[in-house]
Chain A
């Protein structure tokens, strides 16, 4: 389908959760750091699967990317009052469900500008509210949701711990070998070889 060439004319095929595919320009797609990290240098044979997100959400996200292709490099969140008419329309025409889907997709695709504008919009919505007013606006997760989240985090922590332990083990082994004086190293190796050959001869 596409090559990793950097021309803005290059089109990439994107696959949504419904299995539908649609075109996105390379210039728009390059605003996604996730895409840059995964596909930019190696290219992709076939549609790029962003199958955790539906077509409407992905199209909305890339509509934003297409629009901001020619904007100067991103330099931190803009104040909402500085947003252009197009930006304001873009945000205002979304309902809450779409807005949340767009944040999730934008966060996954790591599109800094869009994620920041969305978050700034939420912060603005909550600005000036006390705790009681915040409680009314922010729907707190249920006990089940918190439990599920905790389980996921525990799994992640366990996996990270295993990786760290393995890395430490490897480092320790390397360190032990490096620390040994040469003569001792020779002796250790000789012992190991002797043991190996002995075990062979025993067989």
Chain B
């Protein structure tokens, strides 16, 4: 079968969901960034994650943990600010992320498995948060 291109979003919805069920969290987020329809489809899977944390600092981090009890692993999306950003002292400036750095941490320690970095496709912080399942 040729794998150059594949019309995934033209398949029946049931088949699309089955394909997406074979994706991990990083891939689901990458898929959500394709289009509005893709985002809706990914959200409709209602995938549960054990915990989601938002860290607000000079850089904003979104971290999901998939097994809280055993700290099985977590994925962190670091939403990096534009090069020049100045906030008032003691405040955290709201910014449009410039780049996104994805890090997958396998266990409780500092063992990073996979790193991916890309240009932010024009999503604000709140739009980024919307990509993640809300029922956590």
Contact = CB atoms under 8 A, between A and B. Distances in A.
Contact of B37 (A121, A135, A137, A146): A146
B116 interface: yes
Contacts of B118: 130-132
B48 interface: no
A103 B15 contact: yes
Contact of A126 (B14, B27, B121): B27
Contacts of B34: 131, 134-135, 138, 140
Q: How large is the interface on B (under 10, 10 to 19, 20 to 34, 35 or more residues)?
A: 20 to 34
Contacts of B12: 103-104, 107-108
Contacts of A77: 22
Interface of B: 1-12, 14-15, 18-23, 27, 30-31, 33-35, 37, 116, 118, 121
Among A94, A129, A140, chain B packs the most CB atoms within 10 A around the CB of A140
Given A100-B7, A104-B12, A126 B1 contact: no
Nearest to A92: B1
A124 B19 CA distance: 9
Contacts of A103: 11-12, 15
Interface string A107-127: 110000001101111111111
B6 A104 contact: no
A138 B9 contact: yes
7 contacts: A99-B1, A116-B18, A119-B15, A119-B22, A121-B1, A130-B116, A131-B118
A95 B1 contact: yes
Contacts of A135: 34
Contacts of B11: 100, 103-104, 107
B33 A131 contact: yes
Given A94-B1, A139-B7, A127 B15 contact: no
B37 A141 contact: yes
B22 A120 contact: yes
A152 to B, nearest CB: 11
Nearest to B7: A139
Given A91-B1, A119-B22, A126-B23, A140 B9 contact: yes
A136 interface: yes
